[in-house]
Structure 1
Amino acid sequence: MAQTTTTRAGTQTPVQVEVGTTAPAQTAQPTTTLRDALVLAYNTNPELQGQRANQRANDENVPIAKAAGRPGLNGTASASTSPYDSDSSQVSPTRTGTVGLNLSVPIYTGGAVRNSVRAAETRVDAGLASLRGSEADIFTDAVTAYVDVLRFEAIVRLNQQNAHVLEVNLQATRDRFEVGDLTRTDVAQSEARLALAQSQLRTAEANLIGARENYIRIIGAPPGVLAQPPALPGIPVDVQDAEQIALANNPNLEAAQKQRDATRFDVNSAKASRMPQVSVGVGTNYYNYLGSLSSQARSVTGLSPDGVSTTLGAQVNLPIFQGGRPAAQVRQAQAREASAIETVTLTERGVIAQVRSAYASYQSALRVIESSRIAVDANKLSLEGVRAENSVGTRTILDILNAEQELLNSQVNYVTAERDAYVAGFSLLAAMGRAEANDLNLDGGPLYDPGLNYKRVKNRWSDWGSDPEPQAVGTRTNQTPAQTPDVSTTALDPVLQRNDATRPVDINRKKP
């Protein structure tokens, strides 16, 4: 994969860095690219799907807040009978049934509804920013899982190769011991080093299985054969540029700022509880005496057996004393606003620290890659020289074993540095707000647009609207096969190849 470094002139110079050190081998298995993995995570990761559902629930707070300022219509029905009443007369009806319809329209709420709606709308914006942050976090986890698999595949291959070399060396050492050319100590040293290499191989295999299972957890499918990840775009030329971009675009910082803005509306909404409330209402009722009004009673009282009545009125509620509750609610809202203000500062601190740390890690990893590449080449030459010197008696078997171990260590450092560079670079892009679906050009189908649901529900009036029964979107992984440490379908980076890997020691050489 091509990384970039920055020159003093501020331009970006491509530097070829093979992150993960594995390239797809010639195999019948399909190759999975990083884009494929990110698309799968984007569409099926249950954590991301859950965050989207939470945002849809957050959208509903807007019509809920608006409902408090909308007309309310309710119906009433009642039926009653009076089997005994000491004050009743023979002409009084004993049964009554009524059906009514009442309409109430809020006229003035002191700003409570207006501020509640604005607070809800601002929290929708905060939720959208948080959802962007969740996308970036999932993509960062997915990229990390992807390159971790590549790294541990390479480390397993290196350890397999090292164990094979030590097996050949041990057999050669035993052969030379049999002819009296080496001592039992040389054989013991070779045996000990092989045992160590085999234990390192088992550890590397366990780490590879863990990396593959973590890949399945995040992305939802086994990794298969992974291709080299593409170059990271848009790495800034210096850390100051990265900071400015992050402060302007980081989704978590934007979410904190929106939450702070929403608490200001909460304060105004709390203050409205001390203001007058005005509403008007109209009601109509149909009543029926259910046959309990005799003709004599009708003639005496002038009552009809049924009828319709209509009322029209206005109501003013003027709070005078509420036991200190409104003031407490205002102070509480102000305290929450203060907390939200501090959260913005805390989040900003975290963003700055994340950007600076990721940028430093990225630059450091690039330098480690170059140093490790040099170390790998140097240790190859060193091993070649130690083998040659051993053939003339100036180096011992232990020198060869040490040279083998140093070569393995430098190769593992090289692989790890490549992984660290890619993860740090992507984390930097995420902190800058440039690691979301739109930035990554994912084309695995239409991108999820959380704004569509908000537009759909924000002005709903119906009391009977609902969505279809929720169904799981995130894929389960209980049917995926348990992973193994098999690396037969991967190939090592040419930088790590060892041309002398199986060359035996010359057992015909005599001691000088």
Structure 2
Amino acid sequence: MSRTTHSRRLLLGVALMYSAAPVQAETLREALVKAYTTNPTITGERAALRATDENVPIARASGLPSVNATGSYTENVLVASNNFASPARQAQGGANVTVPIYTGGLVRNSVAAAKTRVEGGRAALRGTESDLFTSVVGAYMDVIRDEAIAGLNTQNVRVLDVNLQASRDRFQVGDLTRTDVAQSEARLALARAQLQSAQAQLISSRESYIRLVGTPAGTLETPPTLPHLPASPQIAVSVALDNNPFLLAAAKESDATRYDVGVARSNRLPRLSAVGGGSYYNYLGSTGFGSGIQSSGTAAQGGLSLSVPLFQGGRPAAQVRQAEALQGRAIENVTATERNVIAQARSAYAVWRSSEQVIQSSETAVNANKLSLEGVRAENSVGTRTILDILNAEQELLNSQVTLVTARRDAYVAGFALLAAMGQAEARDLGLDGGVLYDPVANYDRVHHKIWDFDSDGEPAAIATRTAQSPAQDASVAVQRDPLLDTPVDRNPALTTGKDAPSRQ
């Protein structure tokens, strides 16, 4: 790992670790820790890696001695009358030992393939972590965005409702026309529909948050700044090609298939083993006195066993061709994964840069629309603007604020996705320490040399938390109090009444 990459990971971890939050507010780091420890996707992937670890002792077992014991008891129910040497009953027992000496490369290649796939599984687990964290960041920012949008729309409905009442009052005294009232009614109905959509989206985002993190969102703190994002897509791609975990996993799988070809080729090579055994028999006193047959005895034997396959119906050749074809597929999968990684890095960079520019433009638009709304209201007070002009100006301000909130969410999520594509958004990069980090090497070190046939880890228990007891989410949001937006659109008293109203000139 380069010093620059290590520094970026350290800074990202520090940024998440020290993001200050008010009391009872959940930070992004806390959400990531919850998902890391309780999300079933990541806990399931860890279990899958532990299963992959067991392929190493399974492959190694083929090269270790094997011991078998046999026993039998026979009762001869019917014995020929002229067969004096046949006992009425007998018991036998024996033990055999087989020590593989040469297996044509089967064991060596099988163990090498299993070890390589363990390394690939660790990289895939890193990729799963990265994907999970990217999803959590997306869900976290979705809730923040949708709460803001729902709050803006709630305030808009409240303002338009007050405005409609004021418009009706002014219509009663003849200062406005029925058209002005209808325009206010239409805009309020549209605002209520937009609020319903925003509330539904907020509920959906909060439920997605529970699905990923395991607990309701509550109050979410503004996330920390993402440090040291790349200066160009070329830099992003270069780092991604070196560090992306899914690309590393695909490369390890390709390496493992080379050993699979060696395993297949071993099926047409000789096998040599050392064999030995002993046996014991006892006729249990059923041979009769004077029969000349010993009632019990022992025997032992040892030697070498050589098996040379001469013809197997073409099976070994088919297995070799199959393994080579699978190797070809794995090689192509590396290329496909590389293409995907490059596309992800470039796309995330483009979305991130575009969203940053949208943020700047939207901030300008919000400020300009606020000035515009103030100006239109002032002009309405002297009769040069209509209610519709005010409603349009207020709607443009609302739209620009929604665009700004959305762009901020998109920029952050795209920036984190860019770090994920570059292989810099995993648990070791985010400062999720304090005893929660999962060490995939520990289980491998524990099991890869075990040879006891009666070992077990016991019945597994669920690790991930269930969400069935979580309450159904609603769309409640904190009341927003932007002084400008909180002022009714039709805030001016009637200038005059009847036919002399400016709106009727």
Name the TM-score, length of structure 1 as normaliser.
Answer: 0.91
Quote how far apart the aligned CAs of 1:171 are: 1.7
The counterpart of 1:41, out of the listed 35, 41, 49, is: 35
Post-superposition Cα deviations, 1:311-340, rounded to whole Å, max 9, x if no partner, equal 112110000011100000000000000000
Larger displacement relative to structure 2 (380-389 or 79-88): 79-88
Aligned to 1:144: 138
The counterpart of 1:72, out of the listed 59, 66, 71, is: 66
Distance 2:377 2:117 in 1: 69
Distance 1:344 1:133 in 2: 15
Instruction: Say which SS state the counterpart of residue 267 (structure 2) adopts.
Output: helix
The counterpart of 1:237, out of the listed 231, 242, 255, is: 231
Post-superposition Cα deviations, 1:37-56, rounded to whole Å, max 9, x if no partner, equal 00000000011111110110
Quote how far apart the aligned CAs of 1:295 are: 2.7
Cα pair distance change 1:426/1:135, threshold 3 Å:
same
Aligned to 1:221: 215
Instruction: Say which SS state the counterpart of residue 331 (structure 1) adopts.
Output: helix
Distance 2:337 2:455 in 1: 38
- Point out where structure 1 has 5 or more consecutive residues left out of the alignment: 1-22
Post-superposition Cα deviations, 1:245-268, rounded to whole Å, max 9, x if no partner, equal 000000000000000000000001
Quote how far apart the aligned CAs of 1:70 are: 0.7
Quote how far apart the aligned CAs of 1:85 are: 4.6
The counterpart of 1:469, out of the listed 459, 470, 473, is: 459
Post-superposition Cα deviations, 1:340-381, rounded to whole Å, max 9, x if no partner, equal 000000000000000000000000000000000000000000
Distance 1:507 1:223 in 2: 43
Could you tell me the percent identity over the aligned residues?
Answer: 58
Distance 1:31 1:66 in 2: 52
In the alignment, structure 1 residue 499 sits paired with structure 2 residue 484: yes
Aligned to 2:384: 394
Instruction: Say which SS state the counterpart of residue 295 (structure 1) adopts.
Output: coil
Quote how far apart the aligned CAs of 1:445 are: 2.9
The counterpart of 1:55, out of the listed 21, 36, 49, is: 49
**Residues 39, 464 of structure 2: 8 Å contact kept:** yes
Distance 2:198 2:87 in 1: 93
Larger displacement relative to structure 2 (438-447 or 66-75): 438-447
Quote how far apart the aligned CAs of 1:500 are: 5.1
Aligned to 1:8: none
**Residues 163, 184 of structure 2: 8 Å contact kept:** yes
In the alignment, structure 1 residue 487 sits paired with structure 2 residue 472: no
**Residues 275, 318 of structure 1: 8 Å contact kept:** yes
In the alignment, structure 1 residue 84 sits paired with structure 2 residue 78: yes
In the alignment, structure 1 residue 274 sits paired with structure 2 residue 264: no
The counterpart of 2:154, out of the listed 154, 160, 173, is: 160
Aligned to 1:384: 374
The counterpart of 1:261, out of the listed 243, 248, 255, is: 255
The counterpart of 1:127, out of the listed 117, 121, 127, is: 121
Aligned to 1:202: 196
In the alignment, structure 1 residue 252 sits paired with structure 2 residue 246: yes
Distance 1:92 1:480 in 2: 77
Post-superposition Cα deviations, 1:118-153, rounded to whole Å, max 9, x if no partner, equal 111111111111000000011011000000000000
**Residues 63, 457 of structure 1: 8 Å contact kept:** yes
**Residues 391, 505 of structure 1: 8 Å contact kept:** no
In the alignment, structure 1 residue 364 sits paired with structure 2 residue 354: yes
Aligned to 2:103: 109
Distance 2:81 2:449 in 1: 54
Quote how far apart the aligned CAs of 1:167 are: 1.4
Distance 2:82 2:198 in 1: 96
Post-superposition Cα deviations, 1:228-260, rounded to whole Å, max 9, x if no partner, equal 101112311111111110000000000000000
Distance 2:82 2:301 in 1: 27
Distance 2:285 2:75 in 1: 11
Quote how far apart the aligned CAs of 1:81 are: 2.8
Instruction: Say which SS state the counterpart of residue 483 (structure 1) adopts.
Output: coil
- Point out where structure 2 has 5 or more consecutive residues left out of the alignment: 1-19
**Residues 380, 498 of structure 1: 8 Å contact kept:** no
Instruction: Say which SS state the counterpart of residue 290 (structure 2) adopts.
Output: helix
2:487 maps to amino acid: T
1:439 maps to amino acid: D
1:376 maps to amino acid: V
Cα pair distance change 1:491/1:106, threshold 3 Å:
farther
Post-superposition Cα deviations, 1:63-115, rounded to whole Å, max 9, x if no partner, equal 11111111000110011133335496324423221111111111110001110
Quote how far apart the aligned CAs of 1:506 are: 1.7
The counterpart of 2:437, out of the listed 442, 447, 458, is: 447
Distance 1:350 1:361 in 2: 16
**Residues 372, 393 of structure 2: 8 Å contact kept:** yes
**Residues 270, 333 of structure 1: 8 Å contact kept:** yes
Distance 2:54 2:480 in 1: 52
Aligned to 2:365: 375
The alignment's C-alpha RMSD in Å is 1.6
Distance 1:412 1:82 in 2: 93
Cα pair distance change 1:282/1:386, threshold 3 Å:
same
Aligned to 2:397: 407
Distance 1:460 1:480 in 2: 42
Quote how far apart the aligned CAs of 1:213 are: 0.6
Instruction: Say which SS state the counterpart of residue 127 (structure 1) adopts.
Output: helix
Post-superposition Cα deviations, 1:401-433, rounded to whole Å, max 9, x if no partner, equal 100110000000000000000000000000000
1:403 maps to amino acid: A
Aligned residues: 478
1:63 maps to amino acid: P
Aligned to 1:416: 406
1:505 maps to amino acid: R
Instruction: Say which SS state the counterpart of residue 507 (structure 1) adopts.
Output: coil
2:486 maps to amino acid: A
The counterpart of 1:321, out of the listed 311, 323, 330, is: 311
Quote how far apart the aligned CAs of 1:310 are: 0.6
Alignment of 1:4-15 (within 5 A): none
Aligned to 1:172: 166
Quote how far apart the aligned CAs of 1:444 are: 5.1
Distance 1:150 1:88 in 2: 98
Distance 1:428 1:100 in 2: 65
Distance 2:140 2:410 in 1: 12
Aligned to 1:13: none
Distance 2:467 2:299 in 1: 66
Cα pair distance change 1:143/1:88, threshold 3 Å:
farther
Distance 1:166 1:505 in 2: 11
**Residues 370, 484 of structure 2: 8 Å contact kept:** no
